[in-house]
Amino acid sequence: MGACGIPASSTWAPLASRNRRPMPVPHLSVLGQTPSSSHRAPPAGRTDGITLPPLMPWELLPQQREQLKAGPGTLIMATGVQDFNRTEFDRLNEIKGHLEIALLEKHFLQEELRKLREETNAEMLRQELDRERQRRMELEQKVQEVLKARTEEQMAQQPPKGQAQASNGAERRSQGLSSRLQKWFYERFGEYVEDFRFQPEENTVETEEPLSARRLTENMRRLKRGAKPVTNFVKNLSALSDWYSVYTSAIAFTVYMNAVWHGWAIPLFLFLAILRLSLNYLIARGWRIQWSIVPEVSEPVEPPKEDLTVSEKFQLVLDVAQKAQNLFGKMADILEKIKNLFMWVQPEITQKLYVALWAAFLASCFFPYRLVGLAVGLYAGIKFFLIDFIFKRCPRLRAKYDTPYIIWRSLPTDPQLKERSSAAVSRRLQTTSSRSYVPSAPAGLGKEEDAGRFHSTKKGNFHEIFNLTENERPLAVCENGWRCCLINRDRKMPTDYIRNGVLYVTENYLCFESSKSGSSKRNKVIKLVDITDIQKYKVLSVLPGSGMGIAVSTPSTQKPLVFGAMVHRDEAFETILSQYIKITSAAASGGDS
């Protein structure tokens, strides 16, 4: 029994349980308090034990606290109170979280509703709908008025009933017959009529592909494969004309001349075309048939590389561009020669063609076609199989008597015409200048001394610019010099590192004239004897080829001097090297003597 007379095991034992159910508490009278004196009174009409939240220790009266302290179940009760307080706190937090979520959802829904109301704007939609209804009603009134006016006009113009019925019957019969006729005609010929309907032409713009090295190479290969049948046909014809295979050419010549003599030349060519198509069909089916006079040589196909370096791509573009340049040049030469033949650029050549066309026209007018065809066919066969064979074996005879070959070779292209006109103009200028002005030289000087004395560059006399003797002058090969840039790697300043200018070679010196205006300190003079090494140089290793520079080593420079960006690099290198060998050999022979 506890201090208050309550069994601890029966009344306060549930406080020690760990469940979350409400804990039953004893009646307040047990603790010595009446229901009216407690601040948590039970509901009216209840006198037995009630299920209410337990009284906290700070909510008890001092007498109740002393009674609890005096009882043996005080520790168990305190533990139960703490656990109950903890569970209730968790519940309150959970409920608080749910309330916050509900408030946020309400706020978001209100915002969405406001946005929808602003977007829809029901009032404006109602106003627009009312305006559209009003417009519809106005239009309906106008349509009714127009229909009413038309009916009144028809009633005023309507004839009597008898005539109206007769005319209506005739019109109906004619309309029925015409409609049936139109329907039959459209069913029979409507599709063909639609085919002849004119439509505006559609202008389709083809999309241009960007420049690609791989695409360019593939297009060149496709062009080569596409032109292969034509080139093979031309090779076979030239092999027949050259009598590459004697038996084949003899049989072809005999068959052709016999067909021309009997008037079967056109059927012969048609039969050959049918035979070629039949053989192509069998080849496409998998048959191995080779009908060629010249044996075909299969070229090895290089597999395309996936990853190419920058230099390989650049070299690939250069190779393809060179092939395209040569191909387009040949095609342009052929087209320009044909154009110049018909445009009387060379009157003596076009005159021969003019006379030949008149002769062919008159022959076709006065002679039967069989005779004209026989003459043309016989001439073509003899020319192709015999005369061309002799002319190809005897070039000098061909240059004298082969009229078509002479005409074709003598026809000029547009660049040749331009060169001829410029040469004629320069000759005229030279003749006029020689007549108007004759230069006079000192009596005691020869031609070489005079040229050396008066030779000058753009900035003055040569020997004055480089501080050389008067007998030092550029060689005949480099009289105007070679455009280049001097790369002095010993200098650190950008202005002194690279200089643009002109390179000259004299008998004893290598002279570089800077293009920038200023003192002669920017110019460079190197004795050929002082050169320790000279070799070709590649300034940019990324670019393909052997480069466009010359490296010259001297004792006064730590790094070789490089003359780069020279278009005529090989010519300059050979000139410098030959002059260097000449000077060094002359110096060695002089020292030995």
CA pair distance 593, 588, nearest whole angstrom: 9
Q: What value does the mean pLDDT take over residues 406-428?
A: 83
Euclidean distance between CA atoms 568 and 322, whole angstroms: 19
Residue 359 covered by a domain: yes
In a domain, 374, yes or no: yes
Cβ partners under 8 Å of residue 401, min gap 6: 391
pLDDT of residue 228: 87
Same domain, yes or no: 496 and 360? no
Q: Is 68 a member of any domain?
A: no
Q: Which of 26-30, 358-362, 380-384, 477-481 has the lowest mean pLDDT?
A: 26-30
- Of the two residues 15 and 283, the one the predictor is more confident about is 283
Are residues 262 and 363 part of one domain?
Answer: yes
Domain identity same for 400 and 471: no
In this structure, are 494 and 580 located in the same domain?
A: yes
Q: Quote the domain boundaries for residue 255.
A: 215-289+316-410
Domain assignment present for residue 129? The answer is no
Residue 32 domain-assigned (yes or no): no
Q: Which of 532, 529, 524 is nearest to 504 (CA)?
A: 524
* Mean pLDDT in residue range 111-116: 80
Last residue of a domain, one of 410, 440, 475: 410
CATH code assigned at 486? 2.30.29.30
pLDDT of amino acid 48:
45
Is residue 268 situated within a structural domain?
Answer: yes
Domain-ending residue, one of 410, 427, 443 = 410
Q: Is residue 166 part of a domain?
A: no
Mapped onto helix, strand or coil, the DSSP state of residue 533 is strand
Number of domains in the chain: 2
Rounded-to-integer distance, Cα 305 and Cα 301, Å: 12
The residues, ordered by sequence, that sit 6+ positions from 511 with a Cβ below 8 Å of its Cβ are: 466, 468, 474, 503, 504, 505, 523, 524, 525, 526
Average pLDDT on 28-40 reads 40
* pLDDT over 70 (residue 92): yes
pLDDT at 592 over 90: no
Provide the pLDDT for residue 267: 93
Is residue 554 within 8 A of residue 539, CB to CB? The reply is no
Q: What pLDDT score does 522 carry?
A: 75
Q: Are 502 and 457 in contact (CB under 8 A)?
A: yes
Residue 240: is its pLDDT beyond 70? yes
The Cα–Cα gap between 161 and 164 comes to 5
Helix (H, G, I), strand (E, B) or coil at 52: coil
State the CB neighbour count (10 A cutoff) for residue 189.
10
Closest CA to 513 of 467, 551, 573, 477: 467
User: Percentage of residues in the chain with pLDDT exceeding 70?
Assistant: 68
With cut-offs at 50, 70 and 90, classify the pLDDT of residue 411: very high
In a domain, 484, yes or no: yes
Q: Are residues 549 and 472 both part of a single domain?
A: yes
What's the pLDDT tens digit per position in 308-330? 676 677 777 777 778 888 888 89
- What is the secondary structure of 116-147 as a DSSP string? HHHHH-HHHHHHHHHHHHHHHHHHHHHHHHHH
390, 410, 430: which is the final residue of a domain? Answer: 410
> pLDDT band at residue 150, thresholds of 50, 70 and 90?
confident
489 and 394 belong to one structural domain: no
The reply to whether the predicted model has a pTM over 0.85 is no
- Token digits of residue 165: 């019925």
**Strand 533-537 versus strand 509-514 pairing type:** unpaired
- DSSP string spanning 430-469? HHHHHHH------TT--HHHHHHHH-B-SSSBHHHHTT--
Q: What is the DSSP string of 373-427?
A: HHHHHHHHHHIIIIIHHHHHH-HHHHHHH-HHHHHHHHPPPHHHHHHHHHHHHHH
Mean pLDDT (whole number) for 352-359: 93
Domain co-membership, 473 together with 585: yes
The per-residue pLDDT for 83 is: 63
Q: Same domain, yes or no, for 245 and 367?
A: yes
Choice between 93 and 231, residue whose per-residue pLDDT is larger: 231
Q: What is the pLDDT of residue 37?
A: 40
* 532/399 same-domain check: no
Mean pLDDT of 206-235: 82
**Is residue 402 domain-shared with residue 532, that is, in the same domain?**
no
C-alpha to C-alpha distance for 27 and 76, rounded to whole angstroms: 19
Whether the per-residue pLDDT at 266 is higher than 50: the answer is yes
Claim to verify: residue 231 and residue 371 sit in the same structural domain: yes
Q: Are residues 477 and 561 in the same domain?
A: yes
Question: Which residue type, as a one-letter code, is found at position 537?
Answer: Y
